[in-house]
Amino acid sequence: MQEKVIDGKAIAAKIKDELKGDLDILAQRHVTPGLAAVLVGDNPASHIYVRNKARECRKIGIHSEVIERPAGFPQNELNALIDDLNSRPDIHGILIQSPLPKPLDELDAVLRVNPAKDVDGFHPMNMGYMLLGTPRFLPCTPYGIIKMLEHIGVDPKGKKVVVLGRGNIVGKPLAVMLMQKWAGYNATVTVCHTATADIPAETRQADILVAAMGKPRFVTGDMIKNGAVIIDVGVNRIEDCSSEKGYTLCGDVDFEGCLPKAGYITPVPGGVGPMTIAMLMYNTVHAAKSAAGIES
């Protein structure tokens, strides 16, 4: 059944390899794409995620800066830091690592970022462009999911897609993207959430099911139809005394239970996660090209 498992690491590696041509073009203009990640507080998952992003950037020749500040960092100083990054010509992408600790206002910080450097695609201006079907940057995790489907030869056009979760990072933008008339999208999309009356009835109709709820192993084998493509966005820590770390990572899908029926399925870890980082790098490179006046 291994051929059913979508290798996110391998697809991400291919995308990063394809960026080398753009990096060569930029190098001819003496431009090195620059990404700055702002990390406030001591959230362990955020620290791991940002460290992985920085490492992968450096591997392919993207300049990466991680700017760390303590949990008590005030909003006015965060805003001043973002303003400074906006003004720097060597920084083409700015990432405000979510979640920000309270009482910091995350929306205020995102609004402060120059939309032309918003490589996460979360600024309301970029969200609006996406909604209108004329995107500048597409949010990294949803875009990574689309690229996964493209890699395995699954075209969402005309297919029934069910998205579990309506968050601003994955659920909402993915639903908007999939319903666009663009080639490689153009699906019929249902979004399920806490007020959905009968989630299993919806998921059993899905040709493509995307789980982004944050509920460990929520999707079970009896909730999917034969041959469905299952994309698991969830990353949950489950207490596990047998593990050296004391916990095990799992997704929002019962992987073992769904594997026999699925046409394709993503693992956790090693599925969507590497794709998110690859698309962040993709957006950063294209932001650098845009700043240099190079058409993509």
Residue 205: band (very low, low, confident or very high) from pLDDT cuts 50, 70, 90: very high
Average pLDDT over the chain, rounded to an integer: 95
CATH for the 30-116 domain, from 2.60.40.150, 3.40.50.2300, 1.10.3720.10, 3.40.50.10860: 3.40.50.10860
Angle at 267 between CA 171 and CA 200, to 5 degrees: 50
Measured between alpha carbons, how far is residue 272 from residues 6, 90, 115, 281 in Å?
Answer: 9, 29, 25, 15
> What's the average model confidence in pLDDT over 172-201?
97
Q: Is the pLDDT of residue 242 over 80?
A: no
The active-site residue, picked from 97, 118, 159, 172, is: 97
Residue 53 annotated among the catalytic residues of the structure = yes
What's the pLDDT at 47?
86
What residues pair up with 163 in beta bridges, in sequence order?
Answer: 191, 210
Q: Is the pLDDT of residue 244 over 90?
A: no
What's the pLDDT at 263?
98
- In percent, the amount of the chain with pLDDT more than 90 equals 89
Residue 149: band (very low, low, confident or very high) from pLDDT cuts 50, 70, 90: very high
Q: How many CA atoms lie within 13 A of 22 on its CB side?
A: 23
Residue 247: band (very low, low, confident or very high) from pLDDT cuts 50, 70, 90: confident
The active-site residue, picked from 120, 232, 252, 254, is: 120
Question: For residue range 116-140, what is the model confidence (pLDDT) as tens digits?
Answer: 999 999 999 999 999 999 999 999 9
| Whole-number Å distance between alpha carbons of 219 and 206 | 12
The answer to whether the peptide bond before residue 33 is cis (omega within 30 degrees of 0) is no
What's the pLDDT at 134?
95
| Whole-number Å distance between alpha carbons of 18 and 93 | 19
The CATH class of the 140-273 domain is alpha beta
Domain ranges in the chain? 30-116, 140-273
Q: Is the pLDDT of residue 169 over 90?
A: yes
Residue 108 annotated among the catalytic residues of the structure = no
What's the pLDDT at 246?
72
Of 221, 207, 152, the residue nearest 178 (C-alpha): 207
More confident residue, 209 or 248: 209
| Whole-number Å distance between alpha carbons of 119 and 166 | 21
What's the pLDDT at 86?
98
Q: Is the pLDDT of residue 243 over 80?
A: no
What's the pLDDT at 1?
64
Q: Is the pLDDT of residue 227 over 80?
A: yes
Same CATH fold assignment for domains 30-116 and 140-273 = yes
Q: Is the pLDDT of residue 187 over 90?
A: yes
Question: For residue range 48-107, what is the model confidence (pLDDT) as tens digits?
Answer: 889 889 999 999 999 999 999 999 999 999 999 999 999 999 999 999 999 999 999 999
Pairing between β-strand 236-239 and β-strand 247-250 as defined by DSSP bridges: antiparallel
The active-site residue, picked from 53, 117, 147, 159, is: 53
Residues 6 or more apart whose Cβ sits within 8 Å of residue 189: 161, 162, 163, 175, 178, 179
What's the pLDDT at 238?
80
